[in-house]
Chains A and B, each alone.
Chain A
Amino acid sequence: MPVETPLIEFKDVTKRFGDQTVLDQINMKIYENQITTIMGKSGSGKSVLLKHIIGLLSPDEGTVLLQGRPIHKMRKGEWDRYRSQISYLFQNNALFDSMTVFDNVALPLRQTTTMSAKDAETKVMARLEQTDLMEAAAKYPSELSGGMQKRVALARALVTDPKIVLFDEPTNGQDPVRKNVILGTIAHYRKKFGFTAVLVSHDIPDVYFISDRIILLWEGKVAFQGPYEESTKIDHPMAQEFLRSLEGFEDELTGVLSKQMFRARYGMMLNERQEERTITAVLFSVHFDLLVETLGHVGAAEVLRALGKYINTNFMALGGFSVRTHPGEILAMLPYTGFQEGQQLVESFGGRLQKEALSNIEALTQAKVGAGTCFEISVYAGITEASSSEDIDRIIEKARANLGIIAIHRCDPKGGGI
């Protein structure tokens, strides 16, 4: 099997600022068309790493390679071509305060391309529309909220159709819904425009859902690089400590347990009962991508938030605990409930969900997306019995195979759901 050449590779890169070594013999790989997330404590050199990719900083030792070619050996033309493929989204957005939103987004097109003014305007307006900024086009960045400024920076980063986009803490300082919206937007645009994304982020677990690869920086070195699933299994004290320290008790958006806490709770449950026993697990699912298409990122995040809270309220009282396993999936474990009883619980939960929760979600979402927008929310549930020795991923697979609709809500254009 041929080995894939990384798009960008760091080879023994060392960077020092005075006496402080920020990057120490870094070796890492970033692959094409993937979302790679770089994590690490504050001051661990994440932003420094990103700045090496775009050439804002150069290594004291080692090399940065683009498809196997050292970037410091590139000729001017080649270097310009390389840079024309990269966009950078700054942590503080770095928008030009004295320019309107439109001018900020249009700046790279006006200054670096020979595009006509009309074509540039069409392209800028398209990007502003995609990032829900049409109404803010004539405003100045200081007149916008932090979230909107972030979207302006995102629109500016994407306006040149880059092949590589570097995001320096894109969700910094955002509320849980907005964090999911920004990450969802990045994932959505990645699919739509097909770029390679490199993210610096702290937002576990949200960032896991969109990341293909995780790179963990610890004290200037790479402690781990690979898919997220592997990062949770490796027996590296630094990686474990980092994940524990960063991942809170619960998923900020939905209120269900974080992955780390869920695994810990699951482990405790297995230890409580040494003998082999069966567990009831329920997987709740919504078509997240469909919701994003119909309601937008904010609406979809609101739906998931409400669903998570509703699941928590209903099943925690029974000793259950749940985790978000996918952008649109929540797994609930019911350790003290039998399979038959579980089925009845899910059925009655579906009824209540249809009567109460989905109408509330609709009201909430209508307020965000605007009255008159009609949409459908379908909630699926898959219940399964699992042995305590089974892996969680296997349990999820089994539950996924049993998915069926438990609640459906179609809005009535005249008002009220059906």
Chain B
Amino acid sequence: MKERIIEMKKGFRPSGLSFVRFFNFFGRLVIDLVNNLGAATIFFGKAFLMIFRPKQFPEIIQQVYHIGARSSNIVMLVGLFTGMVLGLQLYYTLVKFGSEGLLGTVVALSLIRELGPVLTAIMITARAGSSMAAEIGILRISEQVDALYTMRIDPIRYLISPRIAASIISFPLLTAFFDLIGILGGYLTGVMLLGVSGGSYFSRIQSSVGFIDVRIGFIKSLVFAVIVSTICCFQGYFTHLRSDSHGARSVSLSTTSAVVLSCVMILIADYVVTSFLL
């Protein structure tokens, strides 16, 4: 018994049994997951509260420009082609049932409730989220985060809070742009190319899209903003604690993790939020 306790104190090493090894691996995975989730939640909470500190406004405006304004072109381009594809695909599906007049409704509802928030969030993750993780990661490995601390500038306040605030501001706005351009894209293919009535297209949108649809889309975009900005900043900020790599390689791995994890979490959160709101 005494030997067993000593062994446990040293750190339990599983015996050769494969199911014990499996539980050991799985247990560690769950513990790591819970640890990271807890750390990320505290990280977000701290950063969110610091948004309202003095001297933050100029930093937030700067980040809105980087995350929001500079992502607008790519978001609108993707929105246009998404709307155009939807117009094409849905026209040929609806025409089979003689319901092509509903094209505007289907395009608008799919964009506003689902595709707009999700695709916008994924596009911003690819463009701005990756740069957030990489930039903060480089600041971390080159001791610039420590330098901020030594200058009495809270790194979370100075680096993270403005990015989270800018994401919360930018995501819904870009989603709105995406929806709008997407509806116009559907109009281009459905009305101008395939001959659906333009008046019917817009009147159906007006009659079928309610405030609740817009609200669902905006709630989703806000949730995605929090998820993407927290994951990307968290990955960059704790680059130096990665056990699998160091230096520049750790920044590259953190950036990859940030993008992959953000995309996966966007889709999971999309399902969860949809199931709660519908």
Contact = CB atoms under 8 A, between A and B. Distances in A.
A55 B153 CA distance: 13
A209 interface: no
Interface string A57-76: 00000000000000000000
Interface string B166-202: 0000000000000000000000000000000000000
Is the interface on chain B under 10, 10 to 19, 20 to 34, or 35 or more residues?
Answer: 10 to 19
Interface stretch (A89-97, A233-241, A282-290, A390-398): A89-97
B153 A94 contact: no
A363 interface: no
Contacts of A54: 149-150
A11 interface: no
Contact of A56 (B55, B144, B146, B152): B146
A158 B150 CA distance: 12
A108 interface: yes
B153 A111 contact: yes
Interface in B49-64: 55
B143 interface: yes
A245 interface: no
Contacts of B151: 87, 107-108, 111-112, 156, 160
A132 B33 CA distance: 52
Interface in B117-150: 139, 142-144, 146-147, 149-150
B152 A94 contact: no
B152 A112 contact: yes
Contact of A96 (B144, B146, B149, B152): B144
Interface stretch (A78-86, A179-187, A192-200, A210-218): A78-86
B43 interface: no
B158 interface: yes
Contacts of A88: 147, 150
A83 B152 contact: yes
B147 A94 contact: yes
Contacts of A108: 151-153
A56 B153 contact: no
B146 A107 contact: no
Contact of A90 (B139, B147, B152, B158): B147
Interface string B208-237: 000000000000000000000000000000
A94 B55 CA distance: 22
Nearest to A83: B152
A108 B144 CA distance: 13
B16 to A, nearest CB: 27
B5 to A, nearest CB: 22
Contacts of B146: 56, 90, 94
A84 B152 contact: yes
A94 B142 contact: yes
B142 A86 contact: no
Contact of A111 (B143, B144, B158): B158
Given A80-B152, A107-B153, A94 B158 contact: no
Given A80-B152, A83-B152, A111 B55 contact: yes
Contact of B143 (A83, A84, A94, A107): A94
A176 B146 CA distance: 29
A87 B144 contact: no
Contact of B142 (A80, A87, A92, A112): A92
Given A92-B143, A94-B143, A111-B158, A87 B153 contact: no
A20 to B, nearest CB: 16
Contacts of B152: 80, 83-84, 108, 111-112
Contacts of A90: 143, 146-147
Contacts of B150: 54, 56, 86-88
Contacts of A92: 142-143
Most buried by A among B142, B146, B151: B151
Nearest to B147: A94
Interface string A96-110: 100000000001101
Contacts of B153: 107-108, 111-112
Interface string A101-130: 000000110111000000000000000000
Nearest to B59: A111
Nearest to B58: A110
Contacts of A55: 149
A399 B139 CA distance: 54
A384 to B, nearest CB: 49
A110 B146 CA distance: 18
Contacts of B142: 92, 94
Interface string B103-128: 00000000000000000000000000
A254 B153 CA distance: 42
Nearest to B138: A97
A112 B148 CA distance: 11
A325 to B, nearest CB: 36
A56 B158 contact: no
Contacts of B144: 94-96
Contacts of B55: 110-111
Contacts of A87: 150-151
B52 to A, nearest CB: 16
A151 to B, nearest CB: 16
Contacts of A86: 150
Given A92-B142, A96-B139, 15 more contacts: A54-B149, A56-B149, A80-B152, A83-B152, A84-B152, A87-B150, A88-B147, A90-B146, A90-B147, A94-B147, A107-B151, A108-B151, A108-B153, A110-B55, A156-B151
Interface of A: 54-56, 80, 83-84, 86-88, 90, 92, 94-96, 107-108, 110-112, 156, 160
16 contacts: A54-B150, A56-B146, A84-B152, A86-B150, A87-B151, A88-B147, A90-B146, A94-B143, A94-B144, A94-B146, A96-B139, A107-B151, A108-B151, A108-B152, A111-B153, A156-B151
Closest 3 CB pairs of A and B: A94-B147, A88-B150, A108-B151
